[in-house]
Amino acid sequence: MLGRASLNALIARGHSVVALPRAELDLLDPAAVTVAVERELPDVVLNCAAWTDVDGAEADEDGAMRLNDQAAAVLAAAADAVGASIVHPSSDYVFDGRKPEPYVETDLPAPLSAYGRSKLAGETSVSVANERHLIVRSSWLFGSGGPNFVETMLRIGSEEQEAIVANDQIGLPTYTPHLAGGIAELIEAEQTGIFHVAASGPCSWYDFAQEIFDQAGLECRVMAGTTSMLARPAPRPPYSVLGTKHRGVPVLPHWREGLASYLFEREGSEAHGGEAAA
């Protein structure tokens, strides 16, 4: 999702972009990574590949680490070797969610899940491998090009009369084109370090689901559940709202605006018989 959105955002802003999908570059192959970076000699490398299956990582933490940590480090080192900076998206799940107010970049991470540990390990490895690093933490991503919560709710809303959704997790649902635009701004400003960039307007998954059904015009009753009731394999931070201590960080639109844009994009895609073009 973020790779597609970033490609569109960067091209729209006049950048020359080489996009390498998984079929053309396996990040788990260090030699292939080195060859690709040396061939293209980029100014900036943006890593939009990641293990994103939060629950699946509980059963295969080594697999999550290989992609989110080790492969990310190899890519960062390859970028460093040709004088390029590395941009590495990360996650709100590096925090335990026990802070009663938004997390800023200087707050101490304490991941609860295997996925969160793999993302935090990747942050550390990338920063060590390339001093010209830009680590961008965001949260609850949704957009074209991959499975996401909105699609899950739309499927349930079209098949069922009610849905049970957690109301004890609070975060910031972030539309990937909005995040991609924010990342592009940080790249252009030649920022380095860790930055929090996410949508405006904290909400629960329950709130988000209700708004999805309202905007999509689906008659589906949303019932509030608890995280423990839903019994997911991976623990989730109860409050993972991201704030920032930096000045000049891109302010993204409210998640409701992102949702409206996504549903409009999705409707246009369906009208043309398939996914929107990358």
Q: What is the pLDDT of residues 94-127, one digit of tens each?
A: 999 999 999 999 999 999 999 999 999 999 999 9
What's the pLDDT tens digit per position in 240-251? 999 999 988 999
How much is the pTM? 0.93
Q: Indicate the DSSP class of residue 93.
A: G
Most confident of 174-178, 216-220, 226-230: 174-178
Residue 177: inside a domain = yes
Confidence of residue 273 (pLDDT cuts 50, 70, 90): low
The 10s digit of each residue's pLDDT in 45-98 is 999 999 999 999 999 999 999 999 999 999 999 999 999 999 999 999 999 999
**Residue 259 belongs to domain with CATH number:** 3.40.50.720
Distance CA 166, CA 63 (A): 27
Which of 87, 146, 137, 91 shows the shortest CA–CA distance to 113? 91
Question: Is residue 123 a part of any domain in this protein?
Answer: yes
Please state the domain count of the chain: 1
Q: For the residues 258-272, what does the mean pLDDT come to?
A: 85
The Cα–Cα gap between 182 and 163 comes to 33
Query: Per-residue confidence at 230, pLDDT binned at 50, 70, 90?
Result: confident
Residues 223, 206: Cα–Cα separation, whole Å: 8
For 169-209, the pLDDT digits (tens) are 999 999 999 999 999 999 999 999 999 999 999 999 999 99
Task: Give residue 232's pLDDT.
Answer: 84
Q: What is the mean pLDDT of residues 219-226?
A: 93
Query: Could you tell me the two tokens for 29?
Result: 């192959």
- 192, HSE (Cβ side, Cα atoms, 13 Å): 11
Q: What gap in Å lies between CA 81 and CA 247, rounded to an integer?
A: 30
- Strands 203-204, 170-171: parallel, antiparallel or unpaired by DSSP? antiparallel
8 located within any domain: yes
State which residues form the domain around 76: 2-271
Coil, strand or helix: which one is 182? helix
Q: How far is CA 99 from CA 109, 146, 151, in A?
A: 11, 30, 30
Instruction: Please say if 103 is a catalytic residue.
Output: no
Q: Is residue 127 part of a domain?
A: yes
Which residues are bridge partners to 13 per DSSP?
A: none
Min mean pLDDT across 126-140, 211-225, 257-271 is at: 257-271
Task: Determine if residue 277 is left, alpha or beta; phi over 0 gives left, psi from -120 to 50 gives alpha, anything else beta.
Answer: beta
Q: In this predicted structure, what is the pLDDT of residue 270?
A: 67
The whole-number pLDDT of residue 272 equals: 58
pLDDT score at 271 = 59
**Mean pLDDT lowest among 72-81, 128-137, 141-150:** 141-150
Mean per-residue pLDDT of the chain: 94
Tell me which amino acid residue 137 is: R
Could you tell me the two tokens for 223?
Answer: 């019932």
| Residue 269 CB coordination number (10 Å) | 14
Domain assignment of residue 276, yes or no: no
| Predicted confidence (pLDDT) at residue 277 exceeds the cutoff of 60 | no
* Catalytically annotated residue among 93, 115, 239, 262: 115
Domain for residue 180, yes or no?
A: yes
Residue 145: inside a domain: yes
**8 Å CB contact between 255 and 199:** yes
In a domain, 278, yes or no: no
